[in-house]
Structure 1
Amino acid sequence: MYLYTDQTYNEVDFSHKDLREGELRGCTFTKCRFRGTRMEEVLTSGSQFIDCDFSGAALNASTHERSAFTNCRFQSANLFVAKFQECKMVGSDFTEANLDGITILRGDWSYTSLRLVQLSKQQLRGVRFVEADLYDAKLDKADLRDADLTRAHLAKARLQGADLRGAVLDGVDFKSFDIKGARLDTAQAIAFARSYGAKVD
Protein backbone atom coordinates (compact mmCIF):
# COMPACT_ATOMS: atom_id res chain seq x y z
CA MET A 1 0.00 0.00 0.00
CA TYR A 2 1.38 3.42 -0.96
CA LEU A 3 0.10 6.99 -1.26
CA TYR A 4 1.34 9.60 -3.74
CA THR A 5 -0.09 13.12 -3.37
CA ASP A 6 0.39 16.10 -5.72
CA GLN A 7 3.36 14.51 -7.51
CA THR A 8 4.35 15.31 -11.13
CA TYR A 9 5.97 12.84 -13.51
CA ASN A 10 7.14 13.51 -17.08
CA GLU A 11 8.09 10.71 -19.49
CA VAL A 12 8.76 8.22 -16.66
CA ASP A 13 8.71 4.51 -17.53
CA PHE A 14 6.70 2.50 -15.00
CA SER A 15 6.36 -0.47 -17.37
CA HIS A 16 6.03 -3.93 -15.75
CA LYS A 17 6.30 -2.52 -12.22
CA ASP A 18 4.11 -3.62 -9.33
CA LEU A 19 1.93 -0.64 -8.40
CA ARG A 20 -0.96 -2.58 -6.88
CA GLU A 21 -3.26 -1.30 -4.12
CA GLY A 22 -1.91 2.25 -4.04
CA GLU A 23 -3.50 5.71 -4.04
CA LEU A 24 -2.68 8.51 -6.46
CA ARG A 25 -4.24 11.79 -5.35
CA GLY A 26 -3.82 15.02 -7.31
CA CYS A 27 -0.89 13.62 -9.31
CA THR A 28 0.00 14.47 -12.92
CA PHE A 29 1.60 12.00 -15.33
CA THR A 30 2.60 13.25 -18.80
CA LYS A 31 3.78 10.86 -21.53
CA CYS A 32 4.51 8.15 -18.96
CA ARG A 33 4.55 4.44 -19.79
CA PHE A 34 2.62 1.84 -17.81
CA ARG A 35 2.96 -1.01 -20.32
CA GLY A 36 2.20 -4.33 -18.62
CA THR A 37 2.18 -2.62 -15.21
CA ARG A 38 0.27 -4.27 -12.35
CA MET A 39 -2.20 -1.68 -11.04
CA GLU A 40 -4.94 -3.86 -9.57
CA GLU A 41 -7.10 -2.09 -6.97
CA VAL A 42 -5.35 1.26 -7.52
CA LEU A 43 -7.31 4.37 -6.54
CA THR A 44 -6.81 7.60 -8.46
CA SER A 45 -8.51 10.79 -7.32
CA GLY A 46 -8.22 14.14 -9.09
CA SER A 47 -5.17 12.91 -11.01
CA GLN A 48 -4.26 13.57 -14.64
CA PHE A 49 -2.75 11.16 -17.15
CA ILE A 50 -1.84 12.88 -20.41
CA ASP A 51 -0.62 10.90 -23.46
CA CYS A 52 0.20 7.90 -21.25
CA ASP A 53 0.52 4.30 -22.43
CA PHE A 54 -1.33 1.62 -20.42
CA SER A 55 -1.08 -1.09 -23.08
CA GLY A 56 -1.40 -4.53 -21.50
CA ALA A 57 -1.67 -3.05 -17.99
CA ALA A 58 -3.70 -4.82 -15.30
CA LEU A 59 -6.19 -2.33 -13.84
CA ASN A 60 -8.62 -4.91 -12.46
CA ALA A 61 -10.86 -3.56 -9.69
CA SER A 62 -9.21 -0.13 -9.88
CA THR A 63 -11.23 2.97 -8.93
CA HIS A 64 -10.93 6.41 -10.53
CA GLU A 65 -12.68 9.48 -9.16
CA ARG A 66 -12.69 12.77 -11.09
CA SER A 67 -9.43 11.82 -12.78
CA ALA A 68 -8.50 12.56 -16.41
CA PHE A 69 -7.01 10.10 -18.90
CA THR A 70 -6.64 12.17 -22.08
CA ASN A 71 -5.20 10.69 -25.28
CA CYS A 72 -4.07 7.59 -23.40
CA ARG A 73 -3.64 4.10 -24.84
CA PHE A 74 -5.34 1.14 -23.14
CA GLN A 75 -4.84 -1.45 -25.89
CA SER A 76 -5.30 -4.96 -24.46
CA ALA A 77 -5.44 -3.56 -20.92
CA ASN A 78 -7.49 -5.43 -18.32
CA LEU A 79 -10.14 -3.15 -16.80
CA PHE A 80 -12.30 -5.94 -15.36
CA VAL A 81 -14.71 -4.46 -12.78
CA ALA A 82 -12.86 -1.12 -12.84
CA LYS A 83 -14.86 1.97 -11.83
CA PHE A 84 -14.67 5.43 -13.43
CA GLN A 85 -16.63 8.16 -11.68
CA GLU A 86 -16.92 11.57 -13.37
CA CYS A 87 -13.68 11.02 -15.27
CA LYS A 88 -12.46 12.71 -18.44
CA MET A 89 -11.32 10.06 -20.95
CA VAL A 90 -11.25 12.22 -24.09
CA GLY A 91 -9.29 10.78 -27.02
CA SER A 92 -8.23 7.55 -25.31
CA ASP A 93 -8.00 4.22 -27.15
CA PHE A 94 -9.50 1.05 -25.63
CA THR A 95 -8.88 -1.28 -28.57
CA GLU A 96 -9.08 -4.92 -27.42
CA ALA A 97 -9.27 -3.87 -23.76
CA ASN A 98 -11.28 -6.02 -21.35
CA LEU A 99 -14.11 -3.83 -20.04
CA ASP A 100 -16.21 -6.64 -18.58
CA GLY A 101 -18.03 -5.48 -15.45
CA ILE A 102 -16.79 -1.90 -15.80
CA THR A 103 -18.72 0.90 -14.06
CA ILE A 104 -18.92 4.29 -15.77
CA LEU A 105 -20.64 7.02 -13.77
CA ARG A 106 -21.14 10.12 -15.93
CA GLY A 107 -17.91 11.65 -17.24
CA ASP A 108 -16.64 12.57 -20.70
CA TRP A 109 -15.71 9.71 -23.05
CA SER A 110 -15.78 11.84 -26.21
CA TYR A 111 -13.49 10.94 -29.14
CA THR A 112 -12.57 7.61 -27.52
CA SER A 113 -12.03 4.41 -29.49
CA LEU A 114 -14.42 1.82 -28.05
CA ARG A 115 -14.64 -0.48 -31.05
CA LEU A 116 -16.02 -3.96 -30.31
CA VAL A 117 -16.31 -3.26 -26.57
CA GLN A 118 -18.70 -5.19 -24.35
CA LEU A 119 -20.98 -2.73 -22.53
CA SER A 120 -24.22 -4.72 -22.46
CA LYS A 121 -26.59 -3.85 -19.60
CA GLN A 122 -24.28 -1.08 -18.42
CA GLN A 123 -25.56 2.05 -16.65
CA LEU A 124 -24.27 4.79 -18.98
CA ARG A 125 -26.78 7.49 -18.18
CA GLY A 126 -25.54 11.03 -18.85
CA VAL A 127 -22.14 9.94 -20.22
CA ARG A 128 -20.67 12.05 -23.06
CA PHE A 129 -19.73 9.95 -26.11
CA VAL A 130 -19.40 12.80 -28.63
CA GLU A 131 -17.81 11.42 -31.83
CA ALA A 132 -16.77 8.26 -29.98
CA ASP A 133 -15.98 5.22 -32.12
CA LEU A 134 -18.47 2.57 -30.99
CA TYR A 135 -18.22 0.41 -34.10
CA ASP A 136 -19.71 -3.05 -33.42
CA ALA A 137 -19.97 -2.25 -29.70
CA LYS A 138 -22.27 -4.41 -27.60
CA LEU A 139 -24.74 -2.02 -25.97
CA ASP A 140 -27.70 -4.37 -25.59
CA LYS A 141 -30.03 -3.29 -22.78
CA ALA A 142 -27.65 -0.48 -21.78
CA ASP A 143 -29.10 2.56 -20.01
CA LEU A 144 -28.08 5.45 -22.28
CA ARG A 145 -30.68 7.93 -21.09
CA ASP A 146 -29.49 11.55 -21.39
CA ALA A 147 -26.15 10.43 -22.87
CA ASP A 148 -24.58 12.61 -25.55
CA LEU A 149 -23.93 10.51 -28.67
CA THR A 150 -23.53 13.44 -31.05
CA ARG A 151 -21.91 12.17 -34.29
CA ALA A 152 -20.89 8.93 -32.56
CA HIS A 153 -19.85 6.14 -34.93
CA LEU A 154 -22.35 3.37 -34.22
CA ALA A 155 -22.04 1.21 -37.33
CA LYS A 156 -22.96 -2.41 -36.52
CA ALA A 157 -23.44 -1.52 -32.83
CA ARG A 158 -25.93 -3.68 -30.97
CA LEU A 159 -28.52 -1.54 -29.19
CA GLN A 160 -31.35 -4.04 -28.84
CA GLY A 161 -33.34 -3.22 -25.72
CA ALA A 162 -31.21 -0.17 -24.90
CA ASP A 163 -32.89 2.87 -23.31
CA LEU A 164 -32.03 5.94 -25.40
CA ARG A 165 -34.66 8.33 -24.08
CA GLY A 166 -33.30 11.84 -23.70
CA ALA A 167 -30.00 10.95 -25.40
CA VAL A 168 -28.56 13.38 -27.96
CA LEU A 169 -28.32 11.57 -31.30
CA ASP A 170 -27.50 14.50 -33.60
CA GLY A 171 -25.52 13.42 -36.64
CA VAL A 172 -25.94 9.71 -35.91
CA ASP A 173 -26.55 7.40 -38.90
CA PHE A 174 -29.66 5.47 -37.87
CA LYS A 175 -29.29 3.17 -40.86
CA SER A 176 -25.93 1.84 -39.71
CA PHE A 177 -27.09 -0.05 -36.60
CA ASP A 178 -29.99 -2.11 -35.27
CA ILE A 179 -32.19 -0.51 -32.63
CA LYS A 180 -34.85 -3.21 -32.57
CA GLY A 181 -36.48 -3.14 -29.15
CA ALA A 182 -34.67 0.05 -28.08
CA ARG A 183 -36.66 2.68 -26.18
CA LEU A 184 -36.82 6.07 -27.94
CA ASP A 185 -38.49 9.34 -27.03
CA THR A 186 -40.78 11.13 -29.48
CA ALA A 187 -38.11 13.40 -30.98
CA GLN A 188 -35.78 10.44 -31.57
CA ALA A 189 -38.55 8.39 -33.16
CA ILE A 190 -39.27 11.25 -35.55
CA ALA A 191 -35.58 11.62 -36.43
CA PHE A 192 -35.39 7.86 -37.01
CA ALA A 193 -38.42 7.91 -39.30
CA ARG A 194 -37.05 10.86 -41.26
CA SER A 195 -33.74 9.08 -41.76
CA TYR A 196 -35.69 6.47 -43.72
CA GLY A 197 -37.45 9.09 -45.81
CA ALA A 198 -40.69 9.45 -43.92
CA LYS A 199 -42.44 12.80 -43.90
CA VAL A 200 -43.52 13.70 -40.38
CA ASP A 201 -45.99 16.52 -39.87
Structure 2
Amino acid sequence: MFQYIDRQYERVDFSQQDLKNGELKGCSFIRCIFRGTALDEIWTSGCQFIECDFGGATLNASLHKRSAFTNCRFAGANLFVAKFEDCKMMGSDFAGALLDGIAIEGGDWSYTNLRQVNLSKQTMKGIRLMEADLSESNLQKADLREADLTGAKLFKAVLKGADLRGAKMDRIDYRSFDLTGVRIDLEQAVNVARSYGAKVD
Protein backbone atom coordinates (compact mmCIF):
# COMPACT_ATOMS: atom_id res chain seq x y z
CA MET A 1 0.00 0.00 0.00
CA PHE A 2 1.23 3.49 -0.84
CA GLN A 3 0.13 6.98 0.19
CA TYR A 4 0.42 10.20 -1.81
CA ILE A 5 -0.46 13.51 -0.13
CA ASP A 6 -0.71 16.90 -1.88
CA ARG A 7 1.24 15.78 -4.93
CA GLN A 8 0.79 17.27 -8.38
CA TYR A 9 1.23 15.52 -11.70
CA GLU A 10 0.77 16.85 -15.23
CA ARG A 11 0.87 14.78 -18.42
CA VAL A 12 2.32 11.77 -16.58
CA ASP A 13 1.74 8.32 -18.09
CA PHE A 14 0.73 5.76 -15.43
CA SER A 15 -0.47 3.21 -18.01
CA GLN A 16 -0.41 -0.49 -17.08
CA GLN A 17 0.99 0.22 -13.60
CA ASP A 18 -0.14 -1.59 -10.46
CA LEU A 19 -1.52 1.11 -8.17
CA LYS A 20 -3.85 -1.06 -6.13
CA ASN A 21 -4.73 -0.32 -2.50
CA GLY A 22 -3.24 3.17 -2.61
CA GLU A 23 -4.37 6.26 -0.75
CA LEU A 24 -4.44 9.68 -2.43
CA LYS A 25 -5.16 12.84 -0.46
CA GLY A 26 -5.34 16.32 -1.98
CA CYS A 27 -3.48 15.26 -5.10
CA SER A 28 -3.85 16.81 -8.55
CA PHE A 29 -3.59 14.96 -11.86
CA ILE A 30 -3.86 17.01 -15.06
CA ARG A 31 -4.07 15.27 -18.45
CA CYS A 32 -2.51 12.12 -17.02
CA ILE A 33 -2.92 8.70 -18.60
CA PHE A 34 -4.12 5.65 -16.64
CA ARG A 35 -4.84 3.29 -19.54
CA GLY A 36 -5.07 -0.28 -18.33
CA THR A 37 -3.87 0.77 -14.87
CA ALA A 38 -4.84 -1.36 -11.86
CA LEU A 39 -6.50 1.04 -9.40
CA ASP A 40 -8.54 -1.53 -7.51
CA GLU A 41 -9.44 -0.58 -3.94
CA ILE A 42 -7.70 2.78 -4.28
CA TRP A 43 -8.96 5.54 -1.97
CA THR A 44 -9.05 9.20 -3.00
CA SER A 45 -10.01 12.20 -0.88
CA GLY A 46 -10.13 15.79 -2.13
CA CYS A 47 -8.22 14.90 -5.29
CA GLN A 48 -8.54 16.43 -8.75
CA PHE A 49 -8.35 14.49 -12.00
CA ILE A 50 -8.66 16.85 -14.95
CA GLU A 51 -8.87 15.53 -18.54
CA CYS A 52 -7.33 12.20 -17.52
CA ASP A 53 -7.68 8.97 -19.53
CA PHE A 54 -8.77 5.89 -17.55
CA GLY A 55 -9.45 3.77 -20.64
CA GLY A 56 -9.50 0.07 -19.72
CA ALA A 57 -8.43 0.78 -16.13
CA THR A 58 -9.78 -1.25 -13.22
CA LEU A 59 -11.19 0.68 -10.27
CA ASN A 60 -13.01 -2.20 -8.61
CA ALA A 61 -14.06 -1.50 -5.01
CA SER A 62 -12.37 1.93 -5.13
CA LEU A 63 -13.63 4.70 -2.83
CA HIS A 64 -13.70 8.39 -3.73
CA LYS A 65 -14.70 11.18 -1.34
CA ARG A 66 -15.11 14.80 -2.46
CA SER A 67 -12.80 14.18 -5.41
CA ALA A 68 -13.24 15.65 -8.90
CA PHE A 69 -13.01 13.74 -12.18
CA THR A 70 -13.75 16.46 -14.74
CA ASN A 71 -13.68 15.81 -18.48
CA CYS A 72 -12.09 12.40 -17.91
CA ARG A 73 -12.49 9.34 -20.16
CA PHE A 74 -13.46 5.96 -18.71
CA ALA A 75 -13.92 4.01 -21.97
CA GLY A 76 -13.95 0.31 -21.15
CA ALA A 77 -13.00 0.92 -17.51
CA ASN A 78 -14.23 -1.44 -14.79
CA LEU A 79 -15.80 0.36 -11.82
CA PHE A 80 -17.44 -2.67 -10.25
CA VAL A 81 -18.73 -1.75 -6.73
CA ALA A 82 -16.79 1.54 -6.81
CA LYS A 83 -18.18 4.26 -4.53
CA PHE A 84 -18.33 8.02 -5.18
CA GLU A 85 -19.31 10.34 -2.33
CA ASP A 86 -19.96 14.01 -3.16
CA CYS A 87 -17.70 13.86 -6.20
CA LYS A 88 -17.66 16.22 -9.17
CA MET A 89 -17.76 14.20 -12.40
CA MET A 90 -18.74 16.95 -14.85
CA GLY A 91 -18.10 16.26 -18.51
CA SER A 92 -16.63 12.78 -18.03
CA ASP A 93 -17.26 10.01 -20.57
CA PHE A 94 -18.31 6.58 -19.27
CA ALA A 95 -19.17 5.05 -22.65
CA GLY A 96 -18.43 1.32 -22.53
CA ALA A 97 -17.55 1.39 -18.81
CA LEU A 98 -18.75 -1.32 -16.43
CA LEU A 99 -20.69 0.35 -13.61
CA ASP A 100 -22.33 -2.70 -12.05
CA GLY A 101 -22.77 -2.28 -8.31
CA ILE A 102 -21.48 1.31 -8.34
CA ALA A 103 -22.61 3.51 -5.42
CA ILE A 104 -23.23 7.22 -5.95
CA GLU A 105 -23.91 9.47 -2.98
CA GLY A 106 -24.55 13.09 -3.93
CA GLY A 107 -22.22 14.95 -6.26
CA ASP A 108 -22.39 16.56 -9.68
CA TRP A 109 -22.60 14.27 -12.74
CA SER A 110 -23.72 17.01 -15.13
CA TYR A 111 -22.72 16.80 -18.81
CA THR A 112 -21.50 13.21 -18.40
CA ASN A 113 -21.83 10.58 -21.11
CA LEU A 114 -23.65 7.63 -19.52
CA ARG A 115 -25.03 6.14 -22.73
CA GLN A 116 -25.95 2.45 -22.53
CA VAL A 117 -24.53 1.97 -19.02
CA ASN A 118 -26.17 -0.15 -16.35
CA LEU A 119 -27.44 1.93 -13.41
CA SER A 120 -30.31 -0.34 -12.45
CA LYS A 121 -31.40 -0.27 -8.80
CA GLN A 122 -28.99 2.58 -8.09
CA THR A 123 -29.75 5.14 -5.41
CA MET A 124 -29.02 8.50 -7.03
CA LYS A 125 -31.30 10.64 -4.94
CA GLY A 126 -30.54 14.35 -5.20
CA ILE A 127 -27.54 14.13 -7.54
CA ARG A 128 -27.04 16.59 -10.40
CA LEU A 129 -27.38 15.09 -13.87
CA MET A 130 -27.95 18.28 -15.84
CA GLU A 131 -27.53 17.75 -19.61
CA ALA A 132 -26.23 14.21 -18.95
CA ASP A 133 -26.62 11.73 -21.80
CA LEU A 134 -28.46 8.70 -20.42
CA SER A 135 -29.65 7.44 -23.79
CA GLU A 136 -30.36 3.69 -23.86
CA SER A 137 -29.11 3.33 -20.27
CA ASN A 138 -30.63 0.86 -17.84
CA LEU A 139 -32.26 2.81 -15.02
CA GLN A 140 -34.72 0.15 -13.93
CA LYS A 141 -35.79 0.59 -10.30
CA ALA A 142 -33.30 3.46 -9.87
CA ASP A 143 -34.03 6.03 -7.15
CA LEU A 144 -33.80 9.42 -8.85
CA ARG A 145 -35.96 11.34 -6.40
CA GLU A 146 -35.04 15.05 -6.23
CA ALA A 147 -32.27 14.57 -8.78
CA ASP A 148 -31.60 17.42 -11.21
CA LEU A 149 -32.24 15.97 -14.68
CA THR A 150 -32.62 19.34 -16.39
CA GLY A 151 -31.98 18.87 -20.10
CA ALA A 152 -30.86 15.26 -19.69
CA LYS A 153 -31.17 12.94 -22.69
CA LEU A 154 -33.25 9.86 -21.89
CA PHE A 155 -33.75 8.52 -25.41
CA LYS A 156 -34.81 4.86 -25.15
CA ALA A 157 -33.61 4.70 -21.52
CA VAL A 158 -35.17 1.82 -19.56
CA LEU A 159 -36.90 3.34 -16.53
CA LYS A 160 -39.41 0.69 -15.49
CA GLY A 161 -39.82 0.82 -11.71
CA ALA A 162 -37.70 3.98 -11.38
CA ASP A 163 -38.74 6.74 -8.97
CA LEU A 164 -38.59 10.27 -10.40
CA ARG A 165 -40.72 12.06 -7.81
CA GLY A 166 -39.41 15.51 -7.00
CA ALA A 167 -36.78 15.39 -9.74
CA LYS A 168 -36.19 18.50 -11.85
CA MET A 169 -37.27 17.51 -15.37
CA ASP A 170 -37.08 20.78 -17.30
CA ARG A 171 -36.43 20.41 -21.06
CA ILE A 172 -37.02 16.64 -20.90
CA ASP A 173 -38.54 14.94 -23.96
CA TYR A 174 -41.04 12.60 -22.28
CA ARG A 175 -41.87 11.03 -25.63
CA SER A 176 -38.32 9.70 -26.09
CA PHE A 177 -38.62 6.95 -23.45
CA ASP A 178 -41.18 4.52 -22.04
CA LEU A 179 -42.89 5.76 -18.86
CA THR A 180 -44.54 2.44 -18.08
CA GLY A 181 -44.10 1.62 -14.39
CA VAL A 182 -42.25 4.89 -13.60
CA ARG A 183 -43.21 6.74 -10.41
CA ILE A 184 -43.76 10.45 -11.07
CA ASP A 185 -45.32 13.31 -9.12
CA LEU A 186 -48.28 15.49 -10.06
CA GLU A 187 -46.23 18.29 -11.65
CA GLN A 188 -44.38 15.78 -13.82
CA ALA A 189 -47.67 14.14 -14.80
CA VAL A 190 -48.97 17.50 -16.01
CA ASN A 191 -45.79 18.06 -18.05
CA VAL A 192 -46.11 14.58 -19.56
CA ALA A 193 -49.67 15.36 -20.61
CA ARG A 194 -48.58 18.67 -22.15
CA SER A 195 -45.76 16.95 -24.05
CA TYR A 196 -48.41 14.87 -25.78
CA GLY A 197 -50.43 17.95 -26.70
CA ALA A 198 -52.94 18.02 -23.87
CA LYS A 199 -54.23 21.35 -22.59
CA VAL A 200 -54.08 21.31 -18.80
CA ASP A 201 -56.09 23.95 -16.92
TM-score range for the pair, normalised by the shorter chain length: over 0.9
Instruction: Decide whether the 8 Å contact of 1:160 with 1:181 is kept in 2.
Output: yes
**Conserved 8 A contact 1:134-1:157:** yes
TM-score by length of 2: 0.99
CA-CA distance at 1:199 after TM superposition: 1.0
- Other-structure match for 2:43: 43
Q: Mark the runs of 5 or more structure 2 residues left unpaired by the alignment.
A: none
Matched, 1:65 2:75: no
CA distance in 1: counterparts of 2:27 and 2:187, whole angstroms = 43
Tell me how large the CA RMSD over aligned residues is.
Answer: 0.4
Give 2:118's aligned residue: 118
Taking the TM superposition and a 5 Å limit, the aligned residue runs for 1:1-201 are 1-201=1-201
Partners of 1:135 and 1:64 in 2: CA distance: 26
SS at match of 2:4: strand
Unmatched segments (≥5 aa) in structure 1: none
Q: What percentage of residue pairs aligned between the two structures are identical?
A: 64
What is the deviation of 1:200?
0.9
Cα distance in 1 for partners of 2:104, 2:117 equals 13
Q: In 1, distance between residues paired with 2:108 and 2:191?
A: 25
> Counterpart of 1:71 in structure 2: which amino acid?
N
For residues 187 and 171 of structure 2, what CA distance do their matches in structure 1 show?
14
Separation (CA, whole Å) in 2 of partners of 1:140 and 1:178: 11
Count of aligned pairs: 201
- Deviations along 1:26-48, one digit per CA (max 9) or x if unpaired, are 00000000000000000000000
1:53-86: per-residue Cα shift (whole Å, max 9, x none)?
Answer: 0000010000000000000000000000000000
Distance 2:46 2:37 in 1: 21
